[in-house]
Amino acid sequence: MWAFVLFVAVTIVTYIIFYAIPADPARLACGQRATAECIKRAAHYLGTDRPLYVQYGKFFGRLMPASFRGGPHLKEPSLGRSFTNRLSVNYVVGQAAPVTASLVFGGAVFWMLIALPVGILSALRPRSLLDRISMVFVLIGISAHPVWIGLLFAYFFGFKLGAFPITGYCDFLHPSGTCGGPVQWAYHLFLPWCTFAILFAALYVRMIRANVMEALNEDYVRTARAKGAPEWLVMRSHVLRNALLPIVTMLGMDIGLALGGAIFTESVYGLPGLGKTAINAIENFDLPVTQGIVVFATLCIIVFNLMVDLLYAVIDPRIRLS
Amino acid sequence: MPLLEVNDLKTHFRTDDGVVRAVDGVSFAVDKGQTLGIVGESGSGKSVTCLTIMGLNPRRSAMSSGQALWKGEDLLTASPRRLREIRGSEIAMIFQDPMTSLNPVHKIGDQLAEAMRLHEDVSKKQARARALELLKAVGIPRPERRLDDYPHQFSGGMRQRVMIAMALINNPDLLIADEPTTALDVTTQAQILTLIEKLQEEFGSAVIMITHDLGVVAEIADDVVVMYAAEVAEKGGVEQIFKKPHHPYTWGLMGSLPRLDADVERLVQIQGQPPSLLRPPAGCRFHPRCPYVMPICKEVDPVLAAVSDDPGHLQACHLDEETKDREAAKLLAGMMAEAS
């Protein structure tokens, strides 16, 4: 219910913003020297000559998985067609989503691989050299903009060293020529992953460090030690088990959020993902595509939040029963 | 040989503000099957004393010296491995706050079984059976059903029972109870105390009962140590302490006991605050709050010495015995008068 309200609110806001923008997609469709006749026809064709609520109503009707026109029947929900190239928005989003998903999930693995050990170790040895170094890393990671980091990486590792490709994306499943398959896929995504992971790794190092330090001071950790449990068992079964509970929530929500478009990283590395598609669509006043990506992003957030809630019930017994 | 003999134990913590002398030269002994009560205000060092014995102080900031002889073996110099062997099997501990002392994400039965399997080579099934037996012993209704429950499904009193069950699962020789009833309501407090006493008889364990409640001590202790500002102010048998207290601080504690039978407007309290352990006052640490303070108290720290007519009763106060006898008698007479 809450998810539905959120969904409607987000899509309406997108429509209103587009309505408020002083640009006419119909004029754009007719090219530079547009005749009034052409604009009128284009506007009618695109549906932009109708009032806002009619446009929104049509959009919403297309999205429903059932239709009553010509008798009630089930249909595939559609996001409409692009203003600029008449491609089905479902297709456009379907093309871009795997790219973003590759970037985000790979990036999530990267940042967790960095953040878990660094966070835990600096919690165990506060004020040690490692802790101080990780502190510096965190500051850089949080302050530095991903575009800047991306450009630096592309310049040094891609251009100067030639170790990694600077741009481009290779499909995981469907090879096109030499570019394709898991190896090429990972090879092309390595730099984007690193770039994307740095900000999150920095945030997560702080989170994990704080949580582990807090858990280390819990009474039940003292109880475990008083039982005579060896340190590794205390860490695994009592400290980490509790300290990482909130991290699971954060991870789920961040992945859901990031799936909506890792705009900066995708732009820098020229990845044809959702973020880049969204930018192109906005530049061309292509409402349906923008709206499609907004819908998809909203769905991702909703789905991942739901998954986090369900997962939490499994891993935290306190939630299960209350 | 006593079961546990603590000699001149000192524990200092390094902090950003300086060194906190949390325990500063404490000595006592516990015999097999005996109950020792350690009394004092918050921050007087009673908990830290016991955590030091268990080796549970933060290793990074705590420095300890002195001796804690466990069956003749010094726990302060024992290897971490040896300490782990002793913890939970020979010496067990229960803590002040049962609400936070159990791990919220593990089942009660598993936490109990873990305590046993850490020290004995038994199967999961055997450990579970033993856990069930202990839950029954501490009076948890329908224990077989509650083994698979989580801590949040238990009330505070029940959780403390679980903690006691966990502590006793390996038949320890010594049970350290760190204010086990402070966080509980009054009726539950009484139940838990009775339970500890009953189990002590059953299991034959010695008990160190840390508390700020003289009433608890009077009820279950054989020996009493009164701590003030990281030092021992007075110690002796429970009879000696209650019949003839020798230290003004003990008088203060006794004077501030609430009494059901007396109609008083306000409880008597000891004036002032306990001193900072970063910079304890010179001389006797109690002198800024002591109503009997003399010039010597501000300069010379009194040594813990035996009362002349009673060698088992030790106290650290400069007052002459005559005054002490008189004041103690007055206090007791007052209490008697209130009682009658």
> Tens digit of pLDDT for each residue in A219-266?
999 999 999 999 899 999 999 989 988 898 889 888 888 887 678 888
Burial class of residue A183 in the structure, from the number of CB atoms within 10 Å of its CB (0-12 exposed, 13-18 middle, 19+ buried) = exposed
Burial class of residue A320 in the structure, from the number of CB atoms within 10 Å of its CB (0-12 exposed, 13-18 middle, 19+ buried) = exposed
* CA distances from residue A47 to A14, A83, A112 in whole angstroms, order as listed: 17, 10, 46
Instruction: Give residue-wise pLDDT tens across range A73-129.
Output: 666 677 777 777 778 888 888 888 888 888 899 999 999 999 999 999 999 888 889
Task: Answer yes or no: do A219 and B101 touch at CB < 8 A.
Answer: yes
pLDDT band of A174, cuts 50, 70, 90: low
Closest C-alpha among A305, A293, A288, A308 to residue A97: A293
Q: Which residues in chain B are contacts of A226 at CB distance < 8 A? A: 54, 56, 87-88, 92-93, 95
* Strand, helix or coil for residue A238: helix
* CA distances from residue B218 to B37, B38, B259, B330 in whole angstroms, order as listed: 9, 11, 14, 20
More confident residue, A193 or A38: A193
- List the single residue in B with minimal CA-CA distance to A215: B103
Instruction: Give residue for tokens 């077989």.
Output: B144
Task: Answer yes or no: do A228 and B104 touch at CB < 8 A.
Answer: no
More confident residue, A2 or B14: B14
Residue B190, min C-alpha distance to chain A (Å): 23
User: Can you tell me the distance from the alpha carbon of A102 to that of A259, in angstroms, rounded to the nearest whole number?
Assistant: 10
Of chain A, the percentage scoring pLDDT greater than 90 comes to: 16
Instruction: Give residue for tokens 């003749």.
Output: B72
Chain B interface, Cβ < 8 Å to A? 54, 56, 84-89, 92-93, 95, 97, 100-107, 114-115, 118-119, 150, 152-153, 163, 166
Task: Answer yes or no: do A219 and B100 touch at CB < 8 A.
Answer: yes
The first and second tokens of residue A247, run together, are 């991290």
Mutate to test the interface with B, among A125, A220, A227 (most CBs of B within 10 A): A227
Residue A139, min C-alpha distance to chain B (Å): 24
pLDDT band of A197, cuts 50, 70, 90: confident
Instruction: Give residue-wise pLDDT tens across range A257-312.
Output: 888 767 888 888 888 888 888 888 888 878 788 888 888 888 888 888 888 888 88
Q: Which residues pair with B231 in a beta bridge?
A: B228
Task: Answer yes or no: do B84 and A230 touch at CB < 8 A.
Answer: yes
Partner B contacted by A238 (CB < 8 A): yes
- 0.90 surpassed by pTM: no
Task: Answer yes or no: do A317 and B152 touch at CB < 8 A.
Answer: yes
The first and second tokens of residue B160, run together, are 């403390």
Residue A107, min C-alpha distance to chain B (Å): 29
Residue A140, min C-alpha distance to chain B (Å): 28
From the list B85, B88, B100, the residue facing A226 with the nearest CB is: B88
- List the single residue in A with minimal CA-CA distance to B166: A227
3-class secondary structure for chain B? CCCEEEEEEEEEEEECCEEEEEEEEEEEEECCCCEEEEECCCCCCHHHHHHHHHCCCCCCCEEEEEEEEECCEECCCCCHHHHHHHECCCEEEECCCHHHHCCCCCCHHHHHHHHHHCCCCCCHHHHHHHHHHHHHHCCCCCHHHHCCCCHHHCCHHHHHHHHHHHHHCCCCCEEEEECCCCCCCHHHHHHHHHHHHHHHHHHCCEEEEEECCHHHHHHHCCEEEEEECCEEEEEEEHHHHHHCCCCHHHHHHHHCCCCCCCCCCCCCCCCCCCCCCCCCCCCCCCHHHCCCCCHHHHCCCCCCEEECCEEEEEECCCCCHHHHHHHHHHHHHHHHHHHC
- Residue B60 contacts by C-beta under 8 Å, 6 or more apart in sequence? none
From the list A224, A229, A317, the residue facing B150 with the nearest CB is: A317
Task: Answer yes or no: do B101 and A230 touch at CB < 8 A.
Answer: no
Tell me: ipTM over 0.90: no
Mutate to test the interface with A, among B54, B82, B90, B105 (most CBs of A within 10 A): B105
Residue B9: the pLDDT is 94
* Strand, helix or coil for residue A128: coil
The first and second tokens of residue A10, run together, are 């987000």
Residue A190: the pLDDT is 86
- Residue B68: phi and psi, rounded to 5, are -135, 95
- List the single residue in B with minimal CA-CA distance to A321: B153
Q: Which residues in chain A are contacts of B92 at CB distance < 8 A? A: 226-227
- List the single residue in A with minimal CA-CA distance to B118: A229
Task: Give chain B's residues under pLDDT 70.
Answer: 257-267, 337-340
More confident residue, A149 or B102: B102
- Identity at A173, one-letter amino acid code: L
Residue A34: the pLDDT is 67
Residue A287: the pLDDT is 79
The first and second tokens of residue B201, run together, are 């008889």
* Strand, helix or coil for residue A88: strand
Task: Answer yes or no: do B95 and A222 touch at CB < 8 A.
Answer: yes
Task: Answer yes or no: do B88 and A318 touch at CB < 8 A.
Answer: no
- Residue A118: phi and psi, rounded to 5, are -65, -45
Partner B contacted by A316 (CB < 8 A): yes
User: Can you tell me the distance from the alpha carbon of B325 to that of B246, in angstroms, rounded to the nearest whole number?
Assistant: 8
> How far, rounded to the nearest angstrom, does the alpha carbon of residue A25 sit from its chain's CA centroid?
28
